[in-house]
């Protein structure tokens, strides 16, 4: 299997590692073989639709699963039988939800990857404020996409606070007092994009409340669909966040419940970056690999999932690769932009990327 010990001792956006495409291919191949030997679903899919794994020499030739399959089938690695927790994406009915099977090993890998990716943003000395109700961990959403994200980030911070009461009513006094008492102390606010905009920023704007300038960092992801309908762009979102929350920096990220932990962090140039734990491909309408700056379907690859074959997923999101290992922000790896959802596909909930 993969040498995770060496991987986690490397920098999250190491240029040398990301430049070595053969290294990532070999590790993806190891995961593919492992899942093929232990997952009935993945074994049948790879043998019926793709060339034999041992003959594969290019990363785009590896077997992948369409994201919708996780809604329609129970997909797991059968070698794992104990201490399995089932997480699900949000949806209007059980039929619309992806079901992801996590064992302790995969969960630990996901948490450690999050810690590495966000190591310059959040650490064990940092307090984090979640835009969720205070009894969240005892609610049904605990095992949802939202729950997986909140649980992951809560384990990275020193102390966690919740900005809503048990009735889901916003209570910003705790955050306000924290900032007034420690304006130069670093802290993090975490929430899903639409909730940050409609529940927090819009409330502050309506009440004409402006937090004093502080050392806070806002981390948000998913839920852009509602904002796009209002024609709220990323630049406007960041401008309002800094204006009303007084935070120093705003970080957007792209991720999904099907690959929790292996998120793509946005840099100051506005591009999403592949870390050492992930990679992306873009495919056109014929499912052939796209060239740079060519818009197509995003295929997301991860080195983390071992309890289910979610290491290579074709999404329903559209995007384009801007470059590789040469972003002016200094981070290594491919960097890309997200264009939006494929037209007429089923909308996701809080785990939605757009």
Task: Give the per-residue pLDDT at 228.
Answer: 77
d(CA 123, CA 77) in angstroms, rounded, equals 32
d(CA 300, CA 306) in angstroms, rounded, equals 16
Provide the β-strand partners of residue 321. 336
Using the structure block, give the residue that is written with the tokens 């384990």.
Answer: 155
Instruction: Phi first, then psi: give them for residue 106, nearest 5 degrees.
Output: -65, -40
pTM of the complete model: 0.91
Do residues 106 and 277 lie in contact, with contact meaning Cβ atoms separated by under 8 Å? no
Task: Give the per-residue pLDDT at 92.
Answer: 42
d(CA 40, CA 42) in angstroms, rounded, equals 6
pLDDT in tens, the chain (354 residues): 898 998 999 999 999 999 999 999 999 999 999 999 999 999 999 999 999 999 999 999 999 999 999 999 999 998 766 778 888 886 544 567 899 999 999 999 999 999 999 999 998 899 999 999 888 877 777 777 778 888 889 999 999 999 999 888 999 998 999 999 999 999 999 999 999 999 999 999 999 999 999 999 999 998 777 787 778 889 999 999 999 999 999 999 999 999 988 999 999 999 999 999 999 999 999 999 999 999 999 999 999 999 999 999 999 999 999 999 999 999 999 999 999 888 765 544 334 333
Instruction: Phi first, then psi: give them for residue 132, nearest 5 degrees.
Output: -145, 165
Instruction: Provide CB contacts within 8 A for 63, sequence distance 6+.
Output: 32, 36, 42, 45, 46, 49, 50, 53, 312
Longest dimension (CA), the chain: 63
Using the structure block, give the residue that is written with the tokens 């495409």.
Answer: 21
Helix axes 21-38, 40-49, angle to 10 degrees: 120
Task: Give the per-residue pLDDT at 80.
Answer: 62
Instruction: Residue 158: name the closest of 187, 130, 182 by CA.
Output: 187
CATH of domain 4-341: 3.40.50.12780
Per-residue pLDDT tens digits for 102-111 = 999 999 999 9
Burial class (CB in 10 A: 0-12, 13-18, 19+), 206: exposed
Residue 251: CA count within 13 A, CB half-sphere: 21
Residue 58: CA count within 13 A, CB half-sphere: 7
Using the structure block, give the residue that is written with the tokens 């071992």.
Answer: 306
Instruction: Residue 309: name the closest of 3, 30, 18, 23 by CA.
Output: 30
Instruction: Residue 121: name the closest of 18, 272, 238, 248 by CA.
Output: 248
Q: In three state form, how does the secondary structure of the chain look?
A: CCCHHHHHCCCCCCHHHHHCHHHHHHHHHHHHHHHHHHCHHHHHHHHHHCCCHHHCCCHHHCCCEECCHHHHCCCCCCCCCCCCEEEECCCCCHHHCCEEEECHHHHHHHHHHHHHHCCCCCCCCCEEEEEEECCHHHCHHHHEHHHHHHHHHHCCCCEEEEEECCCCCECCHHHHHHHHHCCCCCEEEEEEHHHHHHHHHHHHHHHCCCCCCCCEEEEEECCCHHHHHCCCCHHHHHHHHHHHHCCCEEEEEECCHHHCCCCEEECCCCCEECCCCEEEEEECCCCCECCCCCCEEEEEEECCCCCCCCCEEEEEEEEEEEEECCCCCCCCCEEEEEEEECCCCCCCCCCCCC
Provide the β-strand partners of residue 280. 300
Instruction: Provide CB contacts within 8 A for 55, sequence distance 6+.
Output: none
């Amino acid at each position: 299997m993969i040498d995770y010990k060496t991987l986690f001792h490397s920098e999250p956006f190491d240029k040398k590692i990301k430049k070595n495409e053969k290294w990532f291919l070999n590790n993806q191949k190891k995961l593919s073989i492992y899942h093929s030997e232990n997952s009935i679903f993945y074994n049948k899919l790879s043998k019926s639709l793709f060339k034999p794994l041992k003959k594969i020499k290019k990363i785009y030739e590896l077997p992948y699963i369409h994201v919708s399959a996780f809604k329609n089938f129970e997909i797991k690695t059968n070698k794992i039988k104990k201490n399995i927790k089932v997480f699900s994406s949000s949806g209007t009915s059980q039929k619309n939800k992806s079901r992801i099977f996590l064992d302790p090993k995969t969960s630990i890998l996901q948490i450690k990857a999050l810690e590495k990716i966000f190591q310059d943003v959040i650490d064990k000395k940092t307090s984090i404020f979640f835009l969720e109700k205070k009894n969240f961990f005892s609610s049904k959403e605990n095992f949802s996409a939202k729950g997986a994200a909140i649980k992951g980030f809560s384990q990275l911070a020193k102390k966690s606070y919740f900005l809503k009461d048990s009735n889901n009513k916003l209570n910003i006094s705790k955050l306000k007092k924290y900032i007034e008492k420690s304006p130069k102390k670093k802290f993090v606010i975490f929430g899903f994009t639409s909730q940050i905009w409609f529940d927090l920023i819009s409330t502050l704007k309506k009440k004409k409340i402006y937090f004093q300038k502080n050392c806070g960092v806002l981390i948000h992801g998913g839920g852009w669909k509602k904002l796009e309908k209002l024609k709220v762009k990323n630049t406007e979102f960041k401008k309002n966040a800094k204006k009303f929350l007084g935070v120093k920096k705003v970080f957007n990220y792209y991720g999904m419940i099907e690959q929790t932990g292996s998120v793509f962090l946005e840099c100051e140039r506005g591009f999403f970056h592949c870390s050492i734990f992930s990679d992306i491909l873009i495919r056109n309408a014929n499912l052939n690999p796209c060239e740079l700056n060519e818009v197509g379907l995003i295929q997301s690859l991860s080195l983390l999932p071992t309890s289910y074959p979610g290491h290579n997923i074709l999404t329903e999101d559209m995007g384009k690769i801007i470059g590789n290992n040469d972003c002016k922000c200094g981070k290594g790896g491919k960097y890309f932009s997200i264009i939006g959802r494929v037209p007429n596909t089923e909308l996701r909930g809080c785990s939605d990327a757009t």
